Amino acid sequence: MSFHPVSASDRYNGSDIAHREKILVTGGRKSGKSSCIKSVFQNLPVKDVTYIGITKKVEKIDYDTIVPLQIYDTPASLDLDQLDVPLSAFSTLVYVVDMQQEDTYHEAVRQAAHIILRGYFANPAMNFFVFIHKAESLSEDYRDENYSEIQRALTDELDDFHYMSLQDYTTLDLCDRETTISIFNHLTSEIKYDMTSVHDVSLRDAWGKVVQGIMEMLPAVEALLLNFTETSGMDNSYLFDLRSRVVLATDNRHRNEATMEQVVDYLSTFLQFREFYKVLRSPPALQSPDTEVVGKDEDASVDKDEDASEPRQWWEGEDTDEAWMTHSIQLMPKCTITLWQFTPQLALVALLHTDTWNARRGMIEYNLTFLRQGVRRILIEAEL
Ligand SMILES: Nc1nc2c(ncn2[C@@H]2O[C@H](COP(=O)(O)OP(=O)(O)OP(=O)(O)O)[C@@H](O)[C@H]2O)c(=O)[nH]1
Ligand SMILES: [Mg+2]
């Protein structure tokens, strides 16, 4: 068993920030914006989110995964015109609403409608997500009620919005009722809502949808996963980003939260042994998650310049004879979970019947070779 280590030179050539997909994270004061980003993409332990502190200026978090990302963590008092790039540069907007703060819903919803409309005028293809956050803090009934209420309130706000107040930001004629109705219809069908909490799998699930929304290669990867899962007699398969534990693609069958939770828990537990693999392997050592994530600041540019002197993609310099990391464990008498690393960043996790695994392991691993090659080819082509 061996683990392909992630070294600085294995990473995407991230120095070209213009090619990063930009995600703008906004929301009210203390709604949980920084927690949502840092607990997933900077591996901040959940117990430490209370100590994050107020975000006073925009912080950019570069994250290398299937698509290189640049996530903007913003202060509550964000002025959209003061960003260092035009709003049109963002492919995705995530608005975080604190589900606990009923007294500020109205303000949050009003601000969300305004920001979403500005985003739409700047880039009509922008993806919109609303994280209705801190869900675990409310009882189940109350939580579902608030979740629906916030969605209803934002829809009403977009319906009643004084569109003409934003005329300076678009060439569309906002005096025309038909135009505003079509904007409203577009946004109500495009805005995706997720109930999230740093305390469970829901936040990673929501981020998975965000990243999937910007993966042009998603349908091709999903088709390969579906084919593999069906021909191998598996129940479910998930392509994970290893560091963030965000799902980048699935076979999209029998998907449910309990299974997701089980798979993410397994992966989290398994990844605690990363350092163990590091000891087994000779250098270059596996980097710790914190050092892999680079905030855009002066120090970071020094590292990046060193990388830039010898730009390498993740597939370059790989020893093709080296075995990929793989692992399997019988969770319950009838259920086995298996993991195969595909690239330094990605791993496939699959759930299947223990009988199937015992009887067909050879065939499954044979099929897997083709799946791995197929996924890697799609990713390499997307990079070139
Ligand atoms: N119960 C609960 N509390 C959370 C959750 N996420 C964040 N918090 C708490 O919410 C508070 C604010 O979190 P931050 O991530 O700093 O919020 P923010 O939106 O970045 O805040 P500002 O940058 O100051 O606007 C902290 O005390 C967190 O502990 C969650 O999922 N559940
Ligand atoms: Mg913050």
Two tokens, residue 244: 């963030």
**Quick one: pLDDT band at residue 12, thresholds 50, 70, 90?**
very low
For residue 19, the model assigns a pLDDT of: 81
Give the Å distances, CA to CA, from 82 to 29, 42, 79, 129, 336: 18, 25, 5, 22, 51
For residue 104, the model assigns a pLDDT of: 74
Query: Among 178, 213, 248, which residue terminates a domain?
Result: 213
Tens digit of pLDDT for each residue in 97-119? Answer: 999 987 778 899 999 999 999 99
Mean residue pLDDT of the chain comes to 84
Q: Is 184 exposed, middle or buried (0-12, 13-18, 19+ CB in 10 A)?
A: middle
CATH number at 285 reads 3.30.450.190
Query: Among 174, 194, 213, which residue terminates a domain?
Result: 213
For residue 293, the model assigns a pLDDT of: 32
Q: Which range marks the domain in which residue 107 is found?
A: 11-213
Closest ligand 1 atom, CA of 137?
1
Is 4 part of any domain? no
Tens digit of pLDDT for each residue in 231-274? Answer: 988 888 999 998 899 999 998 776 677 788 888 888 888 887 76
Give the Å distances, CA to CA, from 51 to 32, 44, 45, 73: 12, 10, 11, 16
State the Rg of the chain over Cα.
22
Q: Kindly report whether the peptide bond that precedes residue 124 is cis, defined as omega within 30 degrees of 0.
A: no
143 Cβ closer than 6 Å to some ligand 1 atom: no
Is 236 part of any domain? yes
For residue 314, the model assigns a pLDDT of: 64
More confident residue, 289 or 73: 73
Cα of 267 from ligand 1 centre, angstroms: 25
Q: Is the pLDDT of residue 56 over 70?
A: yes
CATH number at 63 reads 3.40.50.300
Are 108 and 71 in a shared domain?
yes
Question: Residue 96: which of 188, 186, 190, 207 has the closest Cα?
Answer: 207
Mean pLDDT of 64-88: 93
Q: What is the rounded CA–CA span in Å between residue 138 and residue 355?
A: 41
Q: Is the pLDDT of residue 8 over 90?
A: no
34 Cβ closer than 6 Å to some ligand 1 atom: yes
For residue 333, the model assigns a pLDDT of: 84
Are 192 and 251 in a shared domain?
no
For residue 302, the model assigns a pLDDT of: 36
Q: Is the pLDDT of residue 147 over 90?
A: yes
Tens digit of pLDDT for each residue in 269-316? Answer: 888 776 665 433 333 433 443 333 333 333 333 344 444 455 566 666
Q: Is the pLDDT of residue 131 over 50?
A: yes
Closest ligand 1 atom, CA of 76?
25
More confident residue, 256 or 165: 165
